[in-house]
Amino acid sequence: MSFIIRYLMKTYSAMLIICVFIFPAYSETGYSNPYLDLGIFAFEENDFASAISHLKRAMLKQPDNPVVYHYLAKTYQKMKRFMEARHYYEQAYDIDPNLEDLIYDRGYFNYLTQQYQAALNDFIQSLKQKPDNLMAQYYAGICAFKTDQYQIALHHFLASAKQPSNIKDNCEYYAAVCCFQTGKTAQAHTLFNNISMYSNSRTLRRDAKKWLDILNDNPSLFRPYHLYADITMTYDDNIKLVPSDEKVGDKDDLLIKTFLRGRYNFVQSPIYNMGIEYSHLQTNHVDFSDYNIVGSAGQIFYQINHINTIHSLYLCPEYIWLNNKKYSSNQGLEYDIAWQKSKYLKLLANFEYAFYNNFVNNDYDGQAINFDIGMERTFPDNENLAFISGISIVNKDTDGNDKKYQKGTIGCGIRFQNNQLKWLFGGRYSVRHYMYEDSNFQRRRNDKLSWFLTQFSLIEYKIQPAFQIDHQVNSSNIDQYDYTKTAISFSLRYFY
């Protein structure tokens, strides 16, 4: 018997030598590699030292084989030698980024090393290759959750929960938390209630009941309607006379402004919201009551939440009365998009098309196109601090030629906000070019406006006090349009 065994071993050894040395051309052009096979076998047997030895030989034999680097990365990962693992993952990706399971394994490696944003990007890319990869969906949700990207996390947890698995309860629990964090309290309540009643996990049932207690103690979270009120006293050292003309009167006055807004959602879901909104503004002058303004504006809105993007569409009619006489009406269509690129970066864009009808002076009748793009960048070292910036372009076409203009605006600021207070400091600079000569001065008007603002508010109270100072300087090539104005305001705000 021993003779037969020795004979078979010699035969298999000879065959292995033939494969390695007699047919090198095949090994170099294809992915077949005996050392690679031995390395994979050792890896699966948890013999990582042998796996490294065989895989290093396979790498010498096939330096362009991404599978070798892939398994070297996985082996070093198992050995917790993360620097080498990262190096070989990158080597494999550089050779073949579409190698099966590579991008998922690299995502899991980034997850283990707490590189959650990089892991999220990898899992999303992996899902493009295999949309039914349950674990890629789940870990994408976890990584988005850990980076406070709750809308993205919700998308992946809901997708994971649709598939029957032993992690279904976990997915529904995380989805419920994401619903709460994104203001979808009714959906959060439903999910937490299901978990508290039917989950097989005692821990999940207990935690879900704690969340239900929080939700049940705050019934206002489930209201489909919301109210906002603002009463402001403003001292303005150079009051504006006519809203549309943006003229100032070289007069100072004390203004009392009242602003009310109500919103009702017909539909509330994790995917889309639809409803109406109404706003009312009244400005009363203490000394110059002839310039009192009353404004009413309505909105019909529709919002879609798609992964990390919120799309909003608004239909906005508005009416303004000056000294109790009908002054103007505006009708607009507005589209907003907000893209949460990462935990620390949000990109914003807005497009608006509006019609203007002035009942006092037909020269102001016309239409305008407004396009804005902006950015909010939170500082990683201090998440309460954010840098905000934006660019705006306006083209206004009116019946009166001397009222037509194009305007460009750039602005930036710093915002600090925590649970107690909010502070904002920023400024804007705009250039306005009129298209035709001014009818009074026989010159084309060009204005340059600088606007500085600082605002401080306490947000920990139900009625929130706020203090604001803004300063404007307008420089025009027509001296009569030059002005400087400063306004100091104190407000009381109420949310319901």
CATH of 26-219, one of 3.90.110.10, 1.25.40.10, 3.40.50.620, 3.20.20.120: 1.25.40.10
pLDDT bracket for residue 217 (50, 70, 90): confident
Determine the pLDDT at residue 442.
Answer: 86
The answer to whether domain 223-495 has CATH 1.10.240.10 is no
Residues 133 and 126 sit within 8 Å (Cβ to Cβ): yes
Distance CA 298, CA 118 (A): 43
- In this predicted model, what pLDDT tens digit does every residue of 401-445 receive, in sequence order? 888 999 999 999 999 998 899 999 999 999 999 999 888 888 899
Strands 444-458 and 366-379: unpaired
The owner of tokens 């010498």 is 60
How far the first Cα of the chain sits from its last, in Å, is: 90
Residue 401 near residue 415, CB atoms below 8 Å: no
Q: Does residue 268 or residue 61 have the better pLDDT?
A: 61
- pLDDT value for 244: 65
Domain ranges of the chain: 26-219, 223-495
Average pLDDT over residues 175-194: 87
> At residue 223, does pLDDT exceed 90?
no
Q: Cα Rg for the chain, rounded, in angstroms?
A: 32
Whether the per-residue pLDDT at 343 is higher than 90: the answer is no
Asked whether the predicted pLDDT for residue 29 surpasses 70, the reply is no
| pLDDT the model gives residue 398 | 93
**% of the chain surpassing 70 pLDDT:** 92
Predicted confidence (pLDDT) per residue in 303-321, tens digit: 987 767 889 999 999 999 9
Place of tokens 């493009």: 128
pTM of the predicted protein model = 0.69
pLDDT of residue 11: 47
pLDDT of 10 over the 50 cut: no
Confidence (pLDDT) at 150? 87
